[in-house]
Structure 1
């Protein structure tokens, strides 16, 4: 059995495969965009190439890495299991929704009885699961936030907090730090009566309170000012949504406008906060 493990990551505009020892120490990485394998001390060239062989395509350059930046050093010091940067938008929902998919194939828990009608019913329930709409909304907002990277932003998704809570998205950029909560509207009207938000004819829920709470916890974790944002996906009706003084409410189509804002954080501050935020341990006591 190889002593090396290959872990894919994507972030900061890079698509890479990291090669680590069993204790999590990084010994090499393969940058897919440049086609280069950078080898550190701790493993030999042949051993690294053997571990990466199933993933390499085309011609590959191999050699020592370039001089690392401070952000690179922060990243390399993290064990892959503690690095939140690879999290997809809606990562927790992906995990939750994967379980019911197995039920129709016969791996249901509890009863051993199964039939075509019960299997069909399970699939219908899965399709109608409201978490599907929530996942789609988080993916929509996450994709729009990720596009801000060219404007100097750093983005994390599905940050786990104690007590099974999550921050849907954390965006760190020239305009400051934003804790973004996602709300799927699905072409229905949105009514705001702080702290309640009502979508269509559904019961109102305290989304603004939850958004504030997430920002408060992020502020404690990062020792920085974090502003709450509620991102509403596919809200019906024209015009801007009403916004309380301390919570910014955005349509998903308005997220791109954040790229033009600045004047709060310098690039070095952004990288420092991002390095702290991507470490799972930063969130354990908030």
Structure 2
């Protein structure tokens, strides 16, 4: 059948490939981790195999889909342009560097921010086999984009990335200071962003600061509500944290968070609740 389109779900090389009709309706998907094609409409079986053939490797199983989870149903109804999962780490900064007219100094700062976000984003993405899911550059009206929203067994973390620039970094209750640069209000920002995300997702979101490439990191003893992360121990620390979410909860929250409608301006605050 002509007109079938293959659309990725998630970042390149990860997640599923969905096969859609021209009107956007999904008729099948290919799970690359399980190496299985799930066909929703059997009359399209041969056409689905033909359009997916360039993406297949090894022995592939094919058949009807398993009983869909709530996350599966939500993903099937989600238009590709409303899906945040394909966002790359630093997606917003990439656009600013490509189209912005900032001066040399400002562009240098943007590149430092981008490098830090890409490093942390790659580290978070690598947790996927451990049952974690990550979104990058999540638009949060009134605050600006969340660098990384990390959802996994230990809970949900709203992460702001700070380039350490190989200098001493000090995290205080209200400000972060890197070297001799002007202090940044990142602690206040991340608290507000996490509180807003908590309301929208109706699940506890923990604020976190990831300080990348600092020569030394100091955190004030009074900073107890913000998770302070630093490579290379950042992701091992998350994995070793106590379990707070079961795998179905992780997938359901990821399905909710990847939908741009979740973050729309004017959306009423949900009641604060744990999952």
TM-score (norm 2): 0.82
CA distance in 1, matches of 2:43, 2:144: 39
Gap change, CA 1:228 and 1:208, over 3 Å in 2: same
Q: Deviations over 1:75-112 (max 9, x none)?
A: 22322222222222112222333336xx9xxxxxxxxx
Unaligned segments of structure 2, at least 5 residues: 268-275
The one of 265, 270, 277 equivalent to 2:245 is: 265
Residue in 2 aligned with 1:39?
39
Q: Deviations over 1:46-83 (max 9, x none)?
A: 33344335544566554433343443333223222222
What displacement does 1:269 show? 2.7
CA distance in 1, matches of 2:245, 2:36: 32
Gap change, CA 1:125 and 1:216, over 3 Å in 2: same
SS at match of 1:98: helix
Gap change, CA 1:61 and 1:263, over 3 Å in 2: closer
SS at match of 2:38: strand
Gap change, CA 1:213 and 1:178, over 3 Å in 2: same
CA distance in 2, matches of 1:164, 1:206: 12
Aligned residues: 263
Where does 1:70-219 land on structure 2 (aligned, <5 Å)? Answer: 70-99=70-99, 125=104, 128-163=107-142, 165-219=144-198
SS at match of 1:253: coil
Residue in 1 aligned with 2:229?
250
Is the 2:153–2:243 contact (alpha carbons within 8 Å) kept by the matching residues of 1?
Answer: yes
Unaligned segments of structure 1, at least 5 residues: 104-121
Residue in 1 aligned with 2:209?
230
Is the 2:155–2:245 contact (alpha carbons within 8 Å) kept by the matching residues of 1?
Answer: yes
Higher mean C-alpha displacement, 203-212 vs 31-40: 31-40
Gap change, CA 1:127 and 1:174, over 3 Å in 2: same
Higher mean C-alpha displacement, 36-45 vs 133-142: 36-45
What displacement does 1:25 show? 1.9
SS at match of 1:235: coil
Q: Which structure's CA Rg is the greater one?
A: 1
CA distance in 2, matches of 1:165, 1:127: 18
CA distance in 1, matches of 2:116, 2:167: 14
CA distance in 2, matches of 1:264, 1:54: 40
What displacement does 1:128 show? 5.0
